[in-house]
Amino acid sequence: MSVQEIPEGIGDLAPEVQATYDDAVRLSDKVVVDGKLTSALTDETFENVNPAWLNVIGSSPRCREADVDHTVAVAKKAFRSWSRVTAKERGDLTRKLADIIEEHADDIARLEALENGNAYTTQARPELDITIEVLRLFAGFASELKGNTVPWLDGTLHYTTRDPIGVVGAIIPWNAPVWLWACKVAPAIVAGNTVVVKTAEQAPLAVLKCTELAQQVLPAGVVNTISGFGEECGKPLAEHKDVRKITFTGSCPVGRQIMQYAADKLCPVTLELGGKSPNIVMPDADLDLAIPGVITGMRFSRQGQSCTAGSRLFLHKDVADEILERTVAAMKNLKIGDPLDPESEIGTIVSQEQFDRVTRYVELARETPGAEILCGGGRPDDPALQKGLFFEPTLIKGVPHESPCAQEEIFGPVAVVFEWDDFTTVLNRANDTEYGLAATLWTRDLNHAMRFVDEIEAGLVQVNQYGAPVSNVAYGGLNQSGLGKECSLESMLEHFTRSRTVIINQGTPDPAINV
């Protein structure tokens, strides 16, 4: 592997970008196991492709059952000593890890932008900020790893404990890999567990770098990272008898498979899955607040590749025309370009497979009678963006709500819009989906806001904002959007510890002892 594989047309690379390409080569064909950046047991690899130019930037081990067995054994051995480290010390080491990630944040963000197409300025670099924040959050929660004491009854001491579970299998996606690495690793290790991370095959390098940096402060074997495909690597990790907790972020079909893999061993599972989230604008909404919020909610700065994307837009007919006019104008002004260009606001779709998926949904809309593509719908016109996996922010009107475009998670920069005039009807329509991840209402009316909160079926409900998950805000979905929560103290205690109930009867004093 050589950086000479950089294709013609990129031009002279800035030194920091050249360093990112070099780092991708350095990390190629490696895993992090037992404290070392090292070769995997397997000789098989798969290519890492830059979606902006479709050039090969590196390769990663195609790990299978042998690598899973070896890595889990390493983590299980490390658990024996790590679980006995005091919670305070585990928190202190996690805080030091946050400091190291902060020191290297720019490099990690560029590496992520290179491998998964997230724009450096609007997505990859801000993702590092919230990554550092979540590491520090859970580091501070170390002092809360305690059980409860029940008042003495009938001469007994009654209390509960909070104990680590063991080896955690963490399977993460490609859309926000570093953030999700931290969301799973931080609570797991602070609680006293060890972790085996399985990266997404589309974006293994930035997570691998984070795990490599973690070895500077954590004992060997506490956090390990391997790479591979779902059936070959993720399945044996989830099924492994010594993996006692699984935390997964990804699609609903794969989430259901993960549950099946874990069922025979009664292993607890946390699932953060997909969404088709409603974004409802009332006629009394502050449009100067709502319209930027609508665009933010569509997650165009992540190319729509977000579980919480507000991809179903419900506009009251009295304000629909103004909202659409202003929204489309704003969408057309978003700058699409090379993810590593600091001026780019939108990067690329992550892979050719995902690009083709997005294209199929848009073509389905084109073929639907009465449907209209208000903005976008394909590649940008810029000749410089024809080779990479660039896709314009797209807004579609006129498809029936039963259409796959409105019911299935596209996971691309595509949203569908509907007009409405009855609040009960729009709430029913918003709930007419198998998902239940996020939902937002824009209104000045407190009664409508409270009714929305009461009736909407979503795990993350917001009024007059459409923010992404952040530290210390419990995050997770209902229905087919998942099981369990992340990013809060409660999620650490509930999902990364197990509780024992202890009752000690003081018994009868020994008469031979002179008190």
Reported as a pLDDT band with limits 50, 70 and 90, residue 196 is: very high
* 417 and 298 in a common domain: yes
Same domain, 243 and 294: no
Does residue 2 form part of some domain? no
Same domain, 193 and 251: yes
> Within 13 Å of residue 412, how many CA atoms lie on the same side as its CB?
32
* Same domain? 193 vs 96: yes
Domain of 297: which CATH number?
3.40.309.10
Question: Which tens digit of pLDDT belongs to each residue from 6-36?
Answer: 555 455 678 899 999 999 999 999 999 999 9
- Domain identity same for 128 and 195: yes
Q: Is the pLDDT of residue 514 over 80?
A: no
- Strands (DSSP E) contained in 242-349 are 243-249, 269-272, 278-281, 312-316
What digits encode the pLDDT tens for the residues 449-508? 999 999 999 999 999 999 988 888 999 999 999 999 999 999 999 999 999 999 998 887
Q: What pTM was estimated for this model as a whole?
A: 0.94
Active site residues per annotation = 272, 307
Q: Say yes or no: 382 and 458 in one domain.
A: yes
Asked whether residue 490 falls in the same domain as residue 435, the answer is no
Say if 289 falls within a structural domain: yes
Q: How many whole angstroms separate alpha carbon 462 and alpha carbon 442?
A: 9
Instruction: At 482, list the tokens.
Output: 């998942």
Q: Which domain holds residue 136?
A: 16-48+56-273+477-500
Nearest of 354, 374, 395, 458 to residue 116 by alpha carbon: 354
Mean pLDDT score, 221-236: 97
Q: In the chain, how many domains are there?
A: 2
Q: Under a CB-based contact definition with an 8 Å cutoff, are residues 324 and 476 in contact?
A: no
Do 282 and 239 share a structural domain? no
Please report the sign of the dihedral spanned by the C-alpha atoms of residue 437, residue 272, residue 138, residue 494. Answer: positive
Mean pLDDT over residues 99-126, rounded? 98
